[in-house]
Amino acid sequence: MQRHRRTLQLTDRNATILFVRRDVTRLDVQRHRTELGQGWVTSLEQTLLDLIARPELGDVPDATHEAIGALLPRADMILLRDLATQQRRRSALDHELSGHGQV
């Protein structure tokens, strides 16, 4: 098994970057261009599903749950459920939605 790239500590602020190895072909991504160049970013629904499935990943569960609460009203629920089914995360999604009164 390949290892993840090690965590980076930013020097200009109190923050770290955590890298997670993923199969990008299985994710809902969109092409995005910035002043630094172009690349791929996950859709709102993919990001939300990632947060729901692994809320402990960044060791900031309170911030994760706050982000979930902020993103959930903006999500396309049909797409979110479809992604959860395709990625075998439907149980985690249903559990989170039941906590927000959206089953």
Kindly tell me if the per-residue pLDDT of 76 is higher than 70: yes
pLDDT band at 97 (very low <50, low <70, confident <90, very high): very high
Please report where in the chains the tokens 């797409």 appear, as a residue. Answer: 79
Q: Note the pLDDT of residue 1.
A: 44
Q: Note the pLDDT of residue 15.
A: 86
Cα angle at 80 between 76 and 83, to 5 degrees? 140
Domain presence at residue 1: no
Domain presence at residue 69: yes
Domains of the chain: total: 1
Kindly tell me if the per-residue pLDDT of 2 is higher than 80: no
Average pLDDT, the chain: 91
Range of the domain at 91: 8-99
Domain presence at residue 78: yes
